[in-house]
């Protein structure tokens, strides 16, 4: 039952975000901000597929324990693409609210993203091992959480200042995604049921993508 339910959910998620991303790229009608948002959705779905596709195959065949290497590699790829996702979201914020300058802010985004990716590449993560250390899971997620917090604050402030109803809740989607993700990082190995939180975390990202899509439909008529 878990295999069927999780497979249907994962496949629906990947198809949805990638399809919405492509529709946004093609339907942006020259609006750079929405074309960028579309690419952001495609990066999200394509990156997650490296982890979710092997997981689906494992669940439907011989079990997760026999797919340690592809699942670990998929987690590595997803970790990197999720970082890129937030960098693209930052640039969407700049385009959406016509932000110029702010070089120190951009530098902070790149430093946090660079540190995150560098930490993900360290062999100490033992991505391809069934016994990956929790400590490195925490280390690599510290700059990632700071990057997420920065984007949350930027969207919260800007949406309120510009009375931007279309994106007034995007900060909340990011808060929810991290709120569900952090317990998984900390406790999923000790308490496997905590891993179920990845479902609402994924739904939060779908909400993020839908916010952009509906805004495009409203503004690019």
The model carries a pTM of 0.94
For residues 58-65, average pLDDT: 85
For residues 114-139, average pLDDT: 93
Average confidence score pLDDT of the chain: 93
For residues 14-37, average pLDDT: 94
Cα–Cα dist 20/205, whole Å:
12
Cα–Cα dist 198/184, whole Å:
7
What letters, b where the CB count within 10 A reaches 16 and e where it falls short, cover 41-79? bbbbbbbbbbbbebbbebbeeeeeeebbebbbebbbbbb
Gyration radius (Cα) of the chain, Å: 18
User: Going from the N-terminus, what domains does the chain have, and what CATH number goes with each?
Assistant: 2-219 (1.20.1070)
Lookup result for tokens 């069927």 = 4
């Amino acid at each position: 039952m878990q295999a069927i339910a999780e497979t249907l959910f994962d496949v629906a998620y990947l198809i949805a975000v990638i399809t919405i991303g492509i529709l946004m790229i093609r339907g942006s009608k020259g609006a750079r901000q929405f074309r960028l948002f579309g690419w952001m959705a495609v990066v999200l779905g394509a990156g997650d597929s490296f982890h979710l596709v092997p997981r689906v195959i494992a669940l439907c065949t011989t079990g997760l324990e026999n797919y340690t290497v592809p699942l670990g590699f998929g987690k590595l790829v997803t970790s990197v693409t999720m970082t890129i996702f937030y960098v693209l979201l930052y640039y969407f914020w700049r385009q959406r609210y016509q932000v110029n300058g702010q070089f120190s802010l951009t530098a902070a985004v790149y430093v946090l993203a660079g540190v995150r990716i560098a930490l993900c590449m360290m062999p100490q993560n033992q991505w391809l091992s069934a016994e990956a250390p929790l400590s490195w899971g925490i280390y690599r997620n510290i700059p990632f959480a700071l990057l997420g917090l920065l984007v949350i604050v930027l969207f919260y402030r800007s949406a309120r200042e510009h009375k931007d109803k279309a994106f007034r809740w995007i900060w909340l989607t990011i808060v929810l995604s991290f709120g569900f993700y952090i317990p998984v990082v900390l406790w999923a190995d000790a308490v496997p049921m905590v891993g179920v939180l990845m479902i609402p975390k994924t739904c939060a990202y779908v909400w993020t993508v839908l916010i952009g899509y509906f805004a495009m439909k409203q503004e690019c008529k």
